[in-house]
């Protein structure tokens, strides 16, 4: 994933422009997503209002393992029932945060890694917001699908510029901006002043040069670091023996990205470079943490699979027993007929 593309090249400009479109859209979505998270949290609390409230940490949570607390078990069951894909990310927020934090509950509707140490929507990237929109059931089906289409553009530009040149054409850049605008054009966001301003900025972005200012570059590093953590987690969960082969490549890409982005700020003064450097170092720390804890990820994944494995085993045993019984009956019938 090496990248030698110059930050003042046409491709880099298109890359920054697409990231700016993502940045603008994310900011515009924050108020609506935050409000819907509060409404969803209130709904869950009402569903559990007949139980004695509890703010204890009940440890590892899964879809099936009983919780020794009627209140949190009620919340768990309601969250699982509402989640449109029936796969809440339980490790994103412990039960001691569920009662008092709408954001903690909202994280259960996001990807299962990258957000454990994030404590407000301000630290959530576009794809995290999109996952909440997609999974929580409080937005229209149209905006769910539009946001999922927009996610595909984000995933393309999450690689180093030199690696995603096919996504850095003029046409691809306009399509990326249009996909973001389509999300904000949904009736769900009618009248939101942040959305109206964002759509104006997206329209202007098509014809202007996007300057790589510190805020945009910090967001790019943070976003790509989150995806790096998610990729490492996915690899550790799926390939216990092979995941380490890819971790160095993922971390190396972030290191090269930091160098390129910091070099683009050399003319803007020391404070901007200092902010980017701090963001970059924090991103590397997040990656190191995910690299250092693969066993925990694998163990949690295995625990989730135990009930499914048990159920499958029971099902297969019953099928064998039924087949054996059928065979026995057929044999008896044959003997009876033959006699």
Q: What ranges do the domains of the chain cover?
A: 1-210, 215-292, 301-339
Q: What is the mean pLDDT of the chain?
A: 80
Average pLDDT of the segment spanning 163-182: 88
**Looking at residue 320, what is its pLDDT?**
34
Return the minimum-mean-pLDDT range out of 69-83, 140-154, 209-223, 287-301.
287-301
More confident residue, 225 or 66: 66
Count the alpha carbons within 13 Å of 153 in the hemisphere toward its beta carbon.
32
Which residues, at least 6 apart from 44, have a Cβ–Cβ distance to it below 8 Å? Answer: 75, 78, 79, 82, 98, 105
Average pLDDT of the segment spanning 72-76: 97
Kindly indicate the confidence band of residue 166, based on its pLDDT and cuts at 50, 70 and 90: confident
pTM over 0.75, yes/no: yes
Q: Would the CA dihedral through 282, 288, 289, 294 be positive or negative?
A: positive
Closest CA to 131 of 154, 153, 156, 108: 108
**Looking at residue 316, what is its pLDDT?**
38
Average pLDDT of the segment spanning 110-135: 93
Closest CA to 60 of 89, 40, 87, 84: 89
Residue 325: C-alpha distances to residues 286, 333, 337, 338 (Å): 56, 12, 18, 20
Closest CA to 161 of 106, 212, 230, 213: 212
Q: Where are the alpha helices (DSSP H) in 167-213?
A: 170-184, 193-205
Closest CA to 195 of 7, 70, 24: 24
Using the predicted structure, report yes or no on whether residue 232 has a pLDDT greater than 70.
Answer: yes
Using the predicted structure, report yes or no on whether residue 243 has a pLDDT greater than 70.
Answer: no
* Cβ proximity of 91 and 304 under 8 Å: no
User: What is the crossing angle of helices 141-157 and 10-47, to 10°?
Assistant: 140
Tell me how long the chain is.
339
**Looking at residue 77, what is its pLDDT?**
96
* Cβ proximity of 303 and 60 under 8 Å: yes
Structure tokens at 280: 């970059």
More confident residue, 137 or 330: 137
d(CA 213, CA 268): 9
Using the predicted structure, report yes or no on whether residue 298 has a pLDDT greater than 70.
Answer: no
**Looking at residue 158, what is its pLDDT?**
82
**How far is C-alpha 125 from the chain's CA centre?**
8
Average pLDDT of the segment spanning 155-176: 82
How much of the chain, in percent, has pLDDT values that exceed 90?
Answer: 47
Residue holding tokens 């996909």?
Answer: 179
Residue holding tokens 């919340």?
Answer: 75
Using the predicted structure, report yes or no on whether residue 48 has a pLDDT greater than 90.
Answer: yes
More confident residue, 145 or 263: 145
Return the minimum-mean-pLDDT range out of 200-204, 206-210, 224-228, 245-249.
245-249
* Cβ proximity of 40 and 105 under 8 Å: yes
Using the predicted structure, report yes or no on whether residue 154 has a pLDDT greater than 80.
Answer: yes
């Amino acid at each position: 994933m090496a990248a030698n593309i110059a930050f003042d090249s046409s491709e880099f400009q298109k890359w920054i422009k697409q990231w700016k479109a993502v940045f603008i859209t994310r900011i515009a979505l924050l108020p609506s997503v935050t409000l819907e998270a509060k409404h969803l949290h209130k709904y869950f609390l009402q569903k559990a209002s007949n139980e004695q409230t509890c703010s204890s940490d009940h440890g590892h949570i899964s879809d099936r393992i009983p919780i020794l607390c009627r209140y949190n078990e009620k919340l768990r069951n309601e969250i699982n029932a509402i989640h449109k894909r029936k796969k809440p990310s339980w490790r994103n927020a412990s039960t001691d945060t569920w009662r008092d934090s709408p954001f903690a509950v909202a994280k259960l509707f996001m990807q299962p890694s990258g957000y454990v140490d994030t404590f407000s929507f301000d630290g959530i990237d576009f794809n995290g917001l999109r996952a909440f929109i997609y999974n929580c059931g409080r937005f229209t089906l149209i905006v769910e699908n539009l946001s999922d289409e927009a996610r595909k553009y984000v995933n393309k530009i999450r690689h180093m510029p030199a690696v995603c040149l096919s996504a850095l054409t003029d046409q691809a850049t306009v399509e990326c901006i249009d996909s973001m605008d389509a999300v904000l054009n949904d009736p769900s966001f009618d009248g939101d002043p942040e959305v109206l301003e964002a759509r104006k900025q997206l329209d202007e972005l098509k014809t202007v040069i996007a300057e790589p200012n510190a805020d945009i570059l910090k967001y790019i590093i943070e976003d790509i670091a989150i995806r790096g953590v998610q990729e490492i987690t996915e690899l550790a969960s799926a390939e216990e023996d092979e995941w380490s082969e890819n971790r160095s490549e993922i971390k190396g890409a972030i290191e090269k990205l930091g160098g390129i982005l910091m070099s683009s700020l050399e003319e803007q003064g020391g404070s901007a470079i200092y902010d980017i450097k701090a963001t970059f170092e924090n991103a590397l720390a997040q990656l190191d943490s995910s690299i250092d804890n693969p066993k925990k990820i694998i163990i949690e994944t295995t625990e989730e699979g135990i009930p499914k494995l048990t159920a499958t085993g029971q099902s297969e045993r019953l099928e064998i027993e039924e087949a054996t019984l059928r065979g026995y009956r057929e044999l008896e019938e044959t003997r009876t007929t033959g006699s």
